[in-house]
Amino acid sequence: MHALHNAAAIREVLPRPLWSPKLYLINRVEKQVEYAAHLRTTGPMKRAAAVAKAAETRARNKKAKEDLATVQL
């Protein structure tokens, strides 16, 4: 509704329940605490996996570069 050109005029005509923001969580702070706790456990695991994958990629690229250098000689 807020993307409409005459949103102010539309809000004047329509009753408040039709254009008011709707809450999708009853207790938002409790849900945020729950999400934060979940991220505190999964975040370090994801970062460790990313570091391991980056090390693996660097090693694979280094080996490919060395193999290419030996083939060209």
Q: Report yes or no on 28 lying in a domain.
A: yes
Q: Report yes or no on 47 lying in a domain.
A: yes
> What confidence tens digit (pLDDT) does each residue in 9-42 have?
888 889 999 888 888 889 999 999 999 999 999 9
Environment class of 10 (CB within 10 Å of its CB; exposed 0-12, middle 13-18, buried 19+)? middle
Q: Report yes or no on 4 lying in a domain.
A: no
Q: Report yes or no on 49 lying in a domain.
A: yes
Q: Report yes or no on 10 lying in a domain.
A: no
- pTM for this one? 0.52
Q: Report yes or no on 68 lying in a domain.
A: yes
3 pLDDT more than 70: no
Q: Please tell me the total count of domains within the chain.
A: 1
Task: Tell me what pLDDT residue 10 has.
Answer: 83
Q: Report yes or no on 55 lying in a domain.
A: yes
Range of the domain at 42: 24-72
Q: Report yes or no on 8 lying in a domain.
A: no
The answer to whether residues 37 and 30 touch, using CB atoms and an 8 Å cutoff, is no
> What confidence tens digit (pLDDT) does each residue in 42-59 have?
999 999 999 999 999 999
